[in-house]
Amino acid sequence: MATKNFGDHEQKAQDPTGHEQRFDQEKTVKRNPHPDFRKVEASRPDWEEKNTWHFTKTKQPGWKLGQGANDGGESLKKKHVEIDPYEEGRPAVFNYKLLISGIIPRPIGFVSTRSEDGKSTNLAPFSYTQVINHDPPLFTIGFAGGFSNAKDTLHNLAATKECTINIISEHYLEAANAASINAPYGISEWSLSGLTPAPCTDVKASRVKEAVFSIEGKLHSTQEFESRATPGKKTGVLAIVEGVRFWVREDAINEERNVIDPGILRPMSRLGGIMYGRTVEGCEIPRPDFAEKEKEGETEGLVKPKRDDQ
């Protein structure tokens, strides 16, 4: 029997407590470690607007093949802790907190969708987002929970097969974060965030006009995942979305329309807990060419066959 997709409104009708329970999960996860965040924030330095995009050298510009890490061997002196994600008594939320604090920085897909009847819209950020292919352009979006308890974004995406993915920049960070609010069903995230919907060409969902880079997307496929700890419980859905049209702000794109300026995009990324990261600095390292390195003598004594202990 096929699984029916439920949105927040249908879930609430089926189980009046389920809708509230999902929002109560935030108390269990405890992403915010500060009892009084406003007080902590007030003690911190102001936002550094002067931190403009710039390049630096790498830590060790003269690095050569075979030299290993650039820390002088310090990392080899550190011990590691082995963790079994399915260890008896280990809550699944521990793995969540570990992964979102270790897999960083993560791109944030600010996803806009529209309901099948066109009467409702949804706007929400997702840090389980990544580009996985360029021909065709494919993107992944990860959703917590299964189809039976789908958030509005997943419900709309599954029903209409359409969305937009907008990249969050510094100039609308607060507004984008506001779209993650646990507002009652039927309350518009567009209104609460103050952001501006803009029309698209190939999909009915709006893009965020404030975004420097937006993608019109069509659903390619989905995959639902089941809990290892609680067999039968659906804990996540992976959506693969094909990009069918791109929108880039004029001042951010080059003449060939194939490179976006990071100094204009100024993307925000997701870190662990309630942290976000800025991208204001970069370094460049050319991909090494084996023939050139061999000619320069860098490969001498390093050309060895692969073996099991490597």
Confirm whether 77 is domain-assigned: no
The DSSP bridge partners found for residue 215 are 165, 246
The whole-number pLDDT of residue 184 equals: 85
Residue 1 — pLDDT band, cuts 50, 70, 90? very low
Return the CATH number at 228. 2.30.110.10
Evaluate if residue 156 carries a pLDDT over 90.
Answer: yes
DSSP 256: T
The whole-number pLDDT of residue 25 equals: 63
Confirm whether 267 is domain-assigned: yes
Residue 58 — pLDDT band, cuts 50, 70, 90? very high
Evaluate if residue 92 carries a pLDDT over 50.
Answer: yes
Give per-residue pLDDT as tens, 35-44: 899 999 999 9
Give per-residue pLDDT as tens, 176-231: 999 999 988 789 999 999 999 999 999 999 999 999 999 999 999 999 999 998 89
Confirm whether 55 is domain-assigned: no
DSSP 249: -
Confirm whether 224 is domain-assigned: yes
Give per-residue pLDDT as tens, 257-280: 999 999 999 999 999 999 999 999
The whole-number pLDDT of residue 234 equals: 96
Torsions phi, psi for 48 (to 5 deg): -90, 90
- Least Cα distance to 142 among 282, 270, 9 occurs for 270
The whole-number pLDDT of residue 19 equals: 42
Quick one: tokens of 108?
């944030």
Confirm whether 34 is domain-assigned: yes
Evaluate if residue 72 carries a pLDDT over 50.
Answer: yes
Evaluate if residue 7 carries a pLDDT over 50.
Answer: no
Domain that holds residue 264: 8-41+86-250+260-295
Number of domains making up the chain: 1
Percent of all residues in the chain with a pLDDT value above 90, rounded to a whole number:
84
Q: How far apart are CA 51 and CA 292, in angstroms?
A: 37
Confirm whether 15 is domain-assigned: yes
Confirm whether 37 is domain-assigned: yes
Confirm whether 302 is domain-assigned: no
Residue with tokens 């939320």: 93
Residue 5 — pLDDT band, cuts 50, 70, 90? very low
